[in-house]
Chain A
Amino acid sequence: MTPDNKSVSGGSFGVDRRRFLAGVGTAALVISGAAVIHTGEAWGLEVQNLTPETMRTLIKMARDVYPHDRLADRFYAVAMKSYDAKAGADPASKAMIEDGVATLDGLARGKHGTGYAGVGWEAERVALLRQIETSPFFQTVRGGLVVSLYNQKEVWPAFGYEGESASKGGYVRRGFDDIAWL
């Protein structure tokens, strides 16, 4: 019950903007070298321990687990990026992630002839996730994600949440009782 990922960085994760804007097409999440590149949101996430394909699947999976249409993919990438470092520090963790993704991709290929990230409809991907939802892999990813996604201060405005208030004097003069529609 501790945050996996308290610090948040938006924008670039180590691949500069020109490098991927130069060579990629219009698909949202593409692989370039050791990086997952988001063409629409203009960021890249370089991985050192997991394969970039695995990270792409994790990001796709993260959105399917906690889908919020008002959140950009980068928040899901931030929420999942710590798994790369964990894979470097702990071989068992790396094996669980790589094996879990391989299982998920295998289920996707069997049913749809493509890896998980290539399955077109969310409902079809969710049906695959339901098949593995009791596995340690899924439980670990979901349990970490519920903290690492919703604990990003940058996502709070999308839900109206205002966060810290003591330094602003609380809400005693800032609308603690301003409800007008009752």
Chain B
Amino acid sequence: MAAKFDLNDGSVVAIVGSGAGGGTLGNELAQRGIKVVILEAGKRNEIEDFVNDEWDSFTQLAWKDMRTTSGSWRVHRDFPNLPAWIVKSVGGSTVHWAGASLRLQEHEFKTRTVYGAIAGANLLDWPLTLAELEPYYAKAEDKMGVTRTNNIPGLPGNNNFKVLAAGATKAGYKDVHTGNMAINSRPRDGRGVCQQIGFCFQGCKTGAKWSTLYSEIPKGERTGNLEVRPESHAARIEHDAAGKVTGVVYFDKDGKEQRQKARIVCVAGNSIETPRLLLLSQSSKFPDGLANSSGQVGRNYMRHMTGSVYAVFDRPVRMWRGTTMAGIVRDEAKNEPQRGFVGGYEMETLSLGLPFIAAFLDPGAWGREFTSAIDGYENMAGMWLVGEDMPQENNRITLDPTAKDKLGLPVASVHFDDHPNDVAMRAHAHKAGTAVYQAVDAVRVFPTPPYPSTHNLGTCRMAENSRDGVCNEWGQTHDIKNLFISDGSQFTTGGAENPTLTIVTLAIRQAEYLADQMGKNTI
């Protein structure tokens, strides 16, 4: 059964966040006999609580606490206080993720070497190679039940996939299939088969989609070594005179301040909240925030080059039916600088229900040009474009100088400017996506701007050298040996692929390292 640890039990590992990074790490440590407390800001909504309703589900699951934005990205104009669409609930964003599980490509671990110096970009090679990560990727794919790995068949294609596949094939693309999805195409690991419900983003009602909420966390709890504490909002990490962290101060569900002592603290609050927590933990010893001797905490914020293409046909598609993202075209994912940009992008099926297509197709638009597009909703197909964006030092998370959340803590301020490489890639991707749908006679095509970010990366990046980044290849901060970064904030660069598989892979690897180092008493 689930453990219950004392606030003063300083032998535990405290993990902030229960998503892909924190939830996986918690289970992996618990399986090794290590005592773990996961502090999760959100409530514990279970499968039976999920609702097939976009706005109600958003209200239930999304991180809606205020944030501020600045910069030239269109999200700042369209959604000034909602830079990211991520989850505040046990399971984190693995509750609403689409399930796409792709390994990063070899060259994406060494972009500074392969792409060279790019003006305005803070490129850096990872302190890791694909070869080093491959055994851990394999473990992650097995854990998550990724289709087209481990002899797991691909998911069947829905209507939206069939349109994408037919168009892509006619347009000359070859690498087209229903994806590598952490969604069961057959029963596996105590979870059933995808029922093609079509509400992947609202929490999977069957549990066919992998989520830490109902896979990692209950397994960890069954060891008796894991306690998940919902509605526990971390406010700061404390340290001793020697500079080692000693625990996490958080606000409980009643808004009361609590202090969980810990031997080790791992931060996995997603790439906006993770650097915010380090910055909020500033002290006389660490006036710029914890683990920030490099000055890189909060910097190099990446959100992937994104965009969408929707198209209306003269006959029905009904894209909302079935698995949201089980469809991919990978031909554009390679690095081919002759296209006018470095890095590559994926084309993946995407659908939104009527309430969200109205909100996101062309935010702010009105009048007949807009409503005639909505009138074509039943005949619409859609794809998401997701590619590598350039890390830039000034794309960063800072503490807002004036705005405070309901706990009185300064909110995160998110600054983002598109890099010219991002802009060139988006233009190429919009054109390529348009060509795919025109190949199957779309009557009207909509190159759609980015939504609030779902892939938030890089704000506490890994670097070989402590001058260049916040943590090492294990996610261990360069400055504080018992403080770890355990989410997508670690990414040195973003790659073109949906990041969850890599976050899980790094968490498995980090757990192995943590257990080893704890055994040797080095931390």
B359 and A146 contacting across the interface, CB-CB below 8 Å: yes
Binds A, one of B197-205, B470-478, B488-496: B197-205
Contact B366 A172 (CB under 8 A): no
Residue of B nearest to A180 (CB): B315
A159 near B159 with CB under 8 A, answer no
Q: A17 vs B53: C-alpha distance in the bound complex, in angstroms?
A: 33
Residues of B within 8 A of A167 (CB): 52
A67 contacts the other chain (CB 8 A): yes
Q: At the interface, yes or no: B322 with Cβ under 8 Å from chain A?
A: yes
CB-based contact A68/B354 at 8 Å: no
Residue B368 CB within 8 A of the other chain: yes
B157 interface contact, C-beta 8 A: yes
Closest chain A residue, CB of each to CB of B360: A146
- Min Cβ gap B502→A in Å is 29
Q: Is the CB of A162 within 8 A of B371?
A: no
Stretch at the interface among A1-9, A35-43, A44-52: A1-9
Bound state CA distance, A163 and B440, in angstroms? 27
Q: How distant is the Cα of A142 from the Cα of B315 in the complex, in angstroms? A: 30
Alpha-carbon separation in the docked complex, A178 to B317 (Å): 9
> With A68-B374, A159-B377, A175-B321 given, is the CB distance from A151 to B197 under 8 Å?
no
Minimum Cβ distance to chain A for residue B488 (Å): 23
Does A117 interact with chain B (Cβ within 8 Å)? no
Question: Would B371 and A171 count as touching, CB distance under 8 A?
Answer: no
Name the segment of B18-26, B55-63, B235-243, B455-463 touching the other chain: B55-63
Chain A residues in 8 Å Cβ range of B368: 67
Q: Is B196 a contact of A163 with CB atoms below 8 Å?
A: no
The answer to whether A171 and B56 touch (CB under 8 A), given A65-B366, A159-B374, is no
Whether A18 is near chain B, meaning CB under 8 Å from some CB there, is no
> Number of contacts between A and B (CB, 8 Å)?
131
Contact B367 A65, beta carbon cutoff 8 Å = yes
**Contact for B52 among A68, A151, A166, A178, CB less than 8 A:** A166
Interface residue B163 (Cβ < 8 Å from any Cβ of A):
yes
Which residues from chain A contact B157 at a C-beta distance below 8 Å? 177
The complex places the Cα of A44 from the Cα of B279 at a distance, in Å, of 55
- Render B423-445 as a binary contact track against A, CB cut-off 8 A, 1 for contact: 00000000000000000100000
The tally of residues in A whose CB lies under 8 Å from a CB in B reads 41
For the complex, is B513 an interface residue (Cβ under 8 Å from A)?
A: no
Contact between chains at B197 and A170 (CB < 8 Å): yes
B390 within 8 A of A: no
Q: Is the CB of B194 within 8 A of A172?
A: yes
Q: Which of A149, A155, A170, A182 contacts B195 (CB 8 A)?
A: A170
CB pair A159–B158 under 8 Å, yes or no, is: no
Q: Considering the chains assembled together, what is the distance between the CA atoms of A133 and B364 in angstroms?
A: 10
- A147-B355, A172-B195 known; A6 and B52 CB under 8 Å? no
Query: B195 contacts A169, CB within 8 Å?
Result: yes
Instruction: Please judge, given known A-B contacts A147-B55, A179-B162, whether A166 and B205 are in contact too, CB under 8 Å.
Output: yes
If over half of B's interface residues share one DSSP class (helix, strand or loop), that class is named, otherwise mixed; here it is: loop
The SS class assigned to the A binding surface is: loop
Q: Closest residue of chain A to B47, judged by CB?
A: A166
User: Contacting A176 at CB < 8 Å: which of B82, B196, B355?
Assistant: B196
Tell me, yes or no, whether B2 is within 8 Å of chain A by CB. Answer: no
B377 touches A161 (CB 8 A): yes
Task: Flag B156-185 by CB within 8 Å of A: 1 or 0 each.
Answer: 111100110010000000000000000000
In the complex, which residues of chain B have a beta carbon less than 8 angstroms from the beta carbon of A147? 55, 355, 359
B126 lies within 8 A of chain A by Cβ: no
Q: Which residue of A lies closest to B53 (CB)?
A: A164
In the bound complex, do residue A179 and residue B194 qualify as a contact, i.e. CB atoms below 8 Å apart?
A: no
Chain A nearest CB, measured from B333 CB (Å): 25
- A72 at the B interface (CB under 8 A): no
B353 engages A175 (CB within 8 Å): no
Least Cβ distance of B291 to chain A in Å? Answer: 33
Interface residues of B in 350-380 (CB under 8 A from A): 353-355, 358-359, 364, 366-368, 370-371, 374-375, 377-378
Contact assessment for A165 and B198 in the assembled complex, using a CB-CB cutoff below 8 Å: yes
Closest Cβ of chain B: how far from A40's Cβ, in Å? 21
Quote the shortest CB–CB distance from B304 to chain A (angstroms).
Answer: 21
Q: Does A181 contact B (CB under 8 A)?
A: yes
Return the chain A residue nearest B317 by Cβ. Answer: A179
Residue from the set A156, A160, A170 with the largest chain B CB neighbour count within 10 Å: A170
Q: Separation in Å of the A123 CB from the closest CB of chain B?
A: 9
Any B CB within 8 A of the CB of A137: no
**Docked-complex contact A176 and B322, CB < 8 angstroms:** yes
Query: Of all chain B residues, which has the CB nearest A162?
Result: B320
Cα(A166)–Cα(B198), bound, Å: 9
- In B31-69, the 8 Å CB interface with A consists of 51-56, 58-59, 62, 64
Q: Which of B53, B156, B157 has the most CB of A within 10 A?
A: B53
Please tell me if the beta carbons of A181 and B315 are within 8 angstroms of each other in the complex. Answer: yes
Find chain A residues with CB under 8 A from B315 CB.
181
CB contact under 8 A between A179 and B159, given known A66-B371, A159-B374, A159-B377: yes
Q: Which residues of A lie under 8 Å from residue B353 when comparing CB positions?
A: 161, 163
Q: Is A126 an interface residue (CB 8 A)?
A: yes
- Enumerate chain B residues within 8 angstroms of A170, measured Cβ to Cβ: 194-198, 206, 322
Residues of A within 8 A of B317 (CB): 179
Smallest beta-carbon distance B372→chain A, Å: 9
A70–B376 Cα distance when bound, in Å, is 12
Q: List 29 A-B contacts (CB under 8 A).
A: A1-B64, A1-B82, A3-B56, A3-B59, A6-B55, A142-B364, A142-B366, A147-B55, A150-B354, A156-B354, A159-B375, A160-B316, A160-B318, A161-B377, A162-B318, A162-B321, A164-B199, A165-B52, A166-B205, A171-B196, A172-B194, A172-B195, A172-B196, A175-B318, A176-B156, A176-B322, A177-B156, A177-B159, A177-B322
Closest 7 CB pairs of A and B: A160-B378, A170-B195, A176-B322, A170-B197, A164-B52, A166-B205, A150-B358
